[in-house]
Amino acid sequence: MRRPVARKLSVLAVAAAVVSVCAAAPPAAPKTGTPAKAPVAVGYGGAVSSVDADATAAGIEVLRKGGNAVDAAVATAAALGVTEPYSSGIGGGGYFVYYDAASRTVHTIDGRETAPLTADSGLFLENGEPLAFADAVSSGLSVGTPGTAATWQTALEQWGSRRLGTVLRPAERIARHGFTVDGTFRAQTASNETRFRYFPATAKLFLPGGRLPAVGSTFKNPELARTYEELARKGVGAIYHGDLGEDIVRTVNKPPVDPGSGWNARPGKLSGKDLAAYRAELQAPTRISYRGLGVYSIAPSSSGGTTVGEALNILERTDLSRASEAQYLHHYLEASRIAFADRGRWVGDPAQEDVPTRELLSQRYADSRACLIRDDAVLTSPVAPGDPRRPASCGSGGTAAPTTYEGDDTTHLTVADKWGNVVSYTLTIEQTGGSAMTVPGRGFLLNNELTDFSFTPANPAVHDPNLPGPGKRPRSSISPTIVLDRHNRPVVALGSPGGSTIITTVLQTLTEFLDRGLPLVDAIAAPRASQRNTARTDLEPALYDDTGPAGPRARLEAVGHAFTRNPEIGAATGVQRLPGGRWLAAAEKVRRGGGSAMVVRPAR
């Protein structure tokens, strides 16, 4: 009943190129020197897409000088650490997915932060009770061993063609000379102003002169420029075995709080041993077959690959291409609801938990769960998990667990080069502003990733795989994804920030593109819905505010869906391979101020 995917994708590629070619060459940069943003670009020689124009331009600079996709991805990520410091940086971690064109294979790096080796399941308990989330976030307890720098070094050693110092140069230059403050940067600073004022080093850096940075002003970070210079000279050993690491440990264990603020910045337990023991893990990707295509993503410790993969498997036998918008959204939301139920029960750090990754991704298990979906009714949330090791038709077992909170701010980049290599990379410091603690004199914020652990068991009746533990990686929702055709060549790569909504953003964008036939930039821009095994589904305004009787919201409510208005979900970027050696880069049109897509040589 399904249309041939290969034929449809070729049509999509041509349509996307026709729609996008006029926007391929961005307009001249404004006088400030900041490149202009464009959400789509088509051309040759490689492509980069991120949320920020300076960062995308840094990646393009590396590609133009002969670097490959990995080199450009690290350069882009380092620049995002300057221009998107509340979402990413060397104080955080992330997950890196790489397609190697020579071997036509996909590889991944788990660069997730880890808990201290002295941590136990009571990390966030005080006097036997769980800390309030706000108390835990802005403290040393929330900071995990950073993994970003180790990820960069591992990727460059495995697949790169340039040294770390070379690819850091564009970011170091931006940090020294500054970038132009936009409305998003100011708004994110304002939303964290109270927390930032707790810590003098943070206030000095991000509230210059004691005030919010003005839109249109130039923001400089000379401390981070010097930190990048040190990394260029000494390598990442400066963090994991050197003075920079000592500064991180000191900040975590003795938070440099303003005594007049009255804030109780609880000390952490990070040590030099934790830094020295850290490794960015090379591991196999998750893989499923969807509509005859290979969908590759990141395996646990992230739940992204397993949850997106399970949901796609659940949808495999439903013809979404012929469905009405309401029917499509209904099946997409129910598949996500079910996959999140299984995520909460089974996924944690595989180094310390028995995670049934293969079984969660089996079509047999997905079919046993798909039969729960009805066209005329909604499953009651929270849905109970199934047992992937013993699939039972329409079966659920045990007690449902609620979806735990994850910070909603991260950043994603996608890169392709002229040789056909592709990178999909999501990096983060967890929520906007991370822990709010800047390492004094170093110019970067530390993460609050350990608050992604369950503070107490999500479901007291069963083992929670996401409780803290020594050296353990907290569960993530990060879902960098690469889709290959039947000949193991790239079709599309994408990802998004957004906490637990990352999974639904990637799932919806993939199905809008692969099944619904939208050009990539329009699939990214489409209004989003996010269901994460909760009683109510988040809807963006374009869907929520459409209250007409013939609109999708009314039709979905008629079968039992309930909704909450969410002003913005995710901020995706992607690249698509087109015929003739061309690449299409796509980013957000509006979300987070719009993204930035560029190519090395725009098509004319």
Q: What is the pLDDT of residue 127?
A: 93
Calpha distance 537→317 (Å, rounded): 24
Q: What is the mean pLDDT of residues 128-137?
A: 95
- How would residue 393 be classed by pLDDT, with cut points 50, 70 and 90? confident
Q: What is the pLDDT of residue 384?
A: 93
Q: What is the pLDDT of residue 408?
A: 61
Domain 5-34+50-283+405-536+568-579: CATH architecture, name and number where available: 4-Layer Sandwich (3.60)
**Quick one: CA torsion of 88, 92, 95, 101, rounded to 10 degrees?**
70
Residue of 461 and 128 predicted with greater confidence? 128
Q: What is the mean pLDDT of residues 366-387?
A: 95
Contacts of 343 (CB under 8 A, 6+ apart): 303, 306, 307, 503
3-state class (DSSP) for residue 254: coil
Q: What is the mean pLDDT of residues 242-251?
A: 98
pLDDT for 509 beyond 60:
yes
Calpha distance 70→152 (Å, rounded): 9
pLDDT for 23 beyond 60:
no
Strand 537-539 to strand 563-565: parallel, antiparallel, or no bridges (unpaired)? parallel
Residue of 551 and 17 predicted with greater confidence? 551
- How would residue 398 be classed by pLDDT, with cut points 50, 70 and 90? low
Q: Which of 349, 262, 338 is nearest to 302 (CA)?
A: 349
**Quick one: CA torsion of 13, 14, 16, 19, rounded to 10 degrees?**
170
- How would residue 394 be classed by pLDDT, with cut points 50, 70 and 90? confident
Q: What is the pLDDT of residue 97?
A: 98
- How would residue 15 be classed by pLDDT, with cut points 50, 70 and 90? very low
Contact 146, 239 (CB under 8 A): yes
Q: Where are the domains of the chain?
A: 5-34+50-283+405-536+568-579
DSSP 40: E
- How would residue 404 be classed by pLDDT, with cut points 50, 70 and 90? low
The single residue of 114, 251, 410, 428 carrying the catalytic annotation is 410
pLDDT for 482 beyond 70:
yes
Mean pLDDT over each residue of the chain, to the nearest integer? 93
Hey, how many other C-beta atoms are within 10 angstroms of the C-beta on 567?
9
pLDDT in tens, 325-338: 999 999 999 999 99
Q: Is 318 a catalytic residue?
A: no
Q: What is the pLDDT of residue 50?
A: 98
Q: What is the pLDDT of residue 34?
A: 72
Q: What is the pLDDT of residue 397?
A: 67
Instruction: For residue 574, give the H/E element and its range.
Output: strand 573-577
Q: What is the mean pLDDT of residues 198-223?
A: 97
pLDDT for 182 beyond 50:
yes
Tell me the one-letter amino acid at 60: I
- How would residue 461 be classed by pLDDT, with cut points 50, 70 and 90? confident
Q: What is the pLDDT of residue 405?
A: 65
Contact 149, 167 (CB under 8 A): no
Q: What is the pLDDT of residue 164?
A: 98
Q: What is the mean pLDDT of residues 330-353?
A: 97
Q: What is the pLDDT of residue 14?
A: 35
Q: What is the mean pLDDT of residues 418-422?
A: 98
Q: Which two tokens stand for residue 313?
A: 């498997």
Calpha distance 494→95 (Å, rounded): 13
Q: Which two tokens stand for residue 413?
A: 């980049």
Q: Which of 304, 278, 64, 287 is nearest to 154 (CA)?
A: 278
Q: What is the pLDDT of residue 160?
A: 98
Contact 179, 217 (CB under 8 A): no
Answer whether 0.95 is exceeded by the pTM: no
* Residue found under tokens 């790169």: 160
Calpha distance 563→538 (Å, rounded): 6
Contacts of 354 (CB under 8 A, 6+ apart): none
Contact 150, 280 (CB under 8 A): yes
